[in-house]
């Protein structure tokens, strides 16, 4: 019991020092720390802390790291299980390559790639901005210039970069540079971040082919930019589709419906174009 208490106290101390913790959250954590140091029973103070965090927790309005801590103290430790970022920091094998795509909320960008054969890892994160170690709060506040993105590490013997580009077009709206679907803001803009000349050539050719296909009535505005530093997002955001299945299912369903309607309109438009040419 004492060992578990010390683990939780360490978590609390780290959250107090975490710059991403909101002031109000920090006040609640500091209050527990001071009370325990003054001799109040840790169990009672932890219950008080849980009660104070609960109203924001049920509205999904705690910061990511505090959310993980809340899941830990409310009997849902699997939701706070640390995501292994080893592959992000490890050197790639000769047959491995990385792709970085931004296409709206990264919660919905992971599963489509993660489900493909040859994918070693899909990591949610932030890139394209001007601030080191950005937090989720900073990014969604549009203070850092970053976009939400995914870094995909893949085996080139199984899947090719061009295949991933093709999938990217299928799950995003390339005609919207102000966000994606219900996700509005510059931090949700669609971007293909290329890591070398070969990726740029493939992405550029694919974009030109899409523009010439007549699939969309509006211009293709997804931009192709040189890759910058990729910062992995907080643990809460990693593999969101696995840890928060019901919430993810609702979000993904809305996204799929929007894209299905868009793709249907595209087919009708191209059919009418061919009909007029006869």
Nearest-10 Cα torsion for 16, 20, 26, 30: 0
> 149 is written with which tokens?
């993105």
Q: Which of 32, 102, 105, 150 is catalytic?
A: 105
The verdict on 90 and 182 lying in the same domain is yes
For the segment 180-186, the average pLDDT, to the nearest whole number, is: 91
* CB-CB contact of 28 with 63 (8 Å): no
DSSP state of 234: P
Residue with tokens 């997002």: 233
Phi, psi for 95 (deg, rounded to 5): -95, 5
Q: CA–CA separation, 125 vs 148, rounded Å?
A: 6
* CB-CB contact of 97 with 112 (8 Å): no
Q: CA–CA separation, 160 vs 103, rounded Å?
A: 19
Q: Which residue has the higher pLDDT, 267 or 54?
A: 54
The verdict on 47 and 168 lying in the same domain is no
> 208 is written with which tokens?
């030109």
> What was the pLDDT predicted at 270?
67
Per the domain annotation, does 269 fall within a domain? no
pLDDT per residue over 120-172, tens digit each? 999 999 999 999 999 999 999 998 999 999 999 999 999 999 999 999 999 99
Question: pTM of the entire structure?
Answer: 0.86
The verdict on 94 and 72 lying in the same domain is no
Per the domain annotation, does 249 fall within a domain? no
Q: Which domain holds residue 197?
A: 86-241
Q: CA–CA separation, 245 vs 7, rounded Å?
A: 28
Share of the chain above pLDDT 70, in %: 96
For the segment 230-246, the average pLDDT, to the nearest whole number, is: 94
Domain final residue, candidates 47, 63, 80: 80
- Chain mean position to CA 272: 38
pLDDT per residue over 11-47, tens digit each? 999 999 999 999 999 999 999 999 999 999 999 999 9
* Sheet order of strands, 191-194 included: 223-226, 191-194, 96-102, 147-155, 119-127, 231-232
Phi, psi for 219 (deg, rounded to 5): -65, 150
Per the domain annotation, does 251 fall within a domain? no
Q: Is 108 an active-site residue?
A: no
* CB-CB contact of 25 with 15 (8 Å): yes
The verdict on 95 and 233 lying in the same domain is yes
Please tell me whether residue 224 adopts helix, strand or coil conformation. strand
Per the domain annotation, does 122 fall within a domain? yes
Q: CA–CA separation, 145 vs 13, rounded Å?
A: 30
The verdict on 164 and 218 lying in the same domain is yes
Q: Which residue has the higher pLDDT, 241 or 246?
A: 241
The verdict on 48 and 140 lying in the same domain is no
Phi, psi for 230 (deg, rounded to 5): -105, 120
The verdict on 59 and 45 lying in the same domain is yes
Q: Taking the CB of residue 9, how many other CB atoms lie within 10 A of it?
A: 15
- Stated as kind and residue range, the H or E segment containing 212 is helix 197-212
The verdict on 59 and 27 lying in the same domain is yes
Phi, psi for 165 (deg, rounded to 5): -60, -45
> 163 is written with which tokens?
């295949």
* CB-CB contact of 72 with 5 (8 Å): no
Q: CA–CA separation, 101 vs 150, rounded Å?
A: 6
> 114 is written with which tokens?
């993660």
- Chain mean position to CA 91: 22
Under the banding of pLDDT at 50, 70 and 90, the label for residue 263 is confident
The verdict on 48 and 180 lying in the same domain is no
The verdict on 100 and 223 lying in the same domain is yes
> What was the pLDDT predicted at 273?
66
């Amino acid at each position: 019991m004492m060992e578990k208490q010390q683990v939780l106290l360490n978590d609390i101390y780290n959250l107090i020092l975490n710059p991403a913790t909101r002031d109000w959250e920090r006040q609640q954590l500091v209050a527990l720390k001071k009370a325990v140091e003054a001799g109040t029973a840790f169990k009672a103070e932890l219950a008080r802390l849980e009660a104070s965090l609960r109203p924001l927790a049920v509205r999904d309005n705690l910061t990511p790291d505090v959310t993980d801590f809340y899941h830990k103290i409310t009997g849902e430790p699997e939701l706070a299980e640390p995501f292994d970022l080893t592959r992000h920091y490890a050197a790639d094998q000769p047959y491995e390559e990385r792709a970085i795509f931004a296409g709206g909320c990264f919660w919905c960008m992971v599963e489509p790639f993660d489900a493909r054969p040859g994918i070693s890892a899909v990591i949610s994160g932030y890139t394209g901005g001007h601030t080191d170690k950005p937090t989720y709060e900073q990014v969604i506040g549009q203070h850092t210039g970053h976009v939400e993105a995914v870094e995909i590490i893949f085996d080139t013997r199984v899947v090719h970069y061009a295949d991933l580009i093709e999938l990217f077009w299928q799950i995003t709206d390339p005609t919207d540079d102000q966000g994606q679907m219900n996700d509005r803001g510059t931090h949700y803009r669609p971007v293909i971040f290329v890591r070398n000349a070969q990726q740029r050539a493939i992405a550029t050719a694919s974009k030109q082919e899409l523009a010439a296909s007549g699939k969309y009535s509006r211009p293709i505005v997804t931009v192709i930019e040189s890759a910058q530093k990729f910062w992995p997002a907080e643990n809460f955001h990693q593999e969101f589709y696995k840890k928060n299945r019901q919430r993810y299912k609702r979000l993904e369903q809305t996204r799929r419906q929007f894209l299905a309607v868009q793709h249907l309109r595209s087919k009708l438009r191209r059919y009418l174009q061919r009909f007029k040419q006869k």
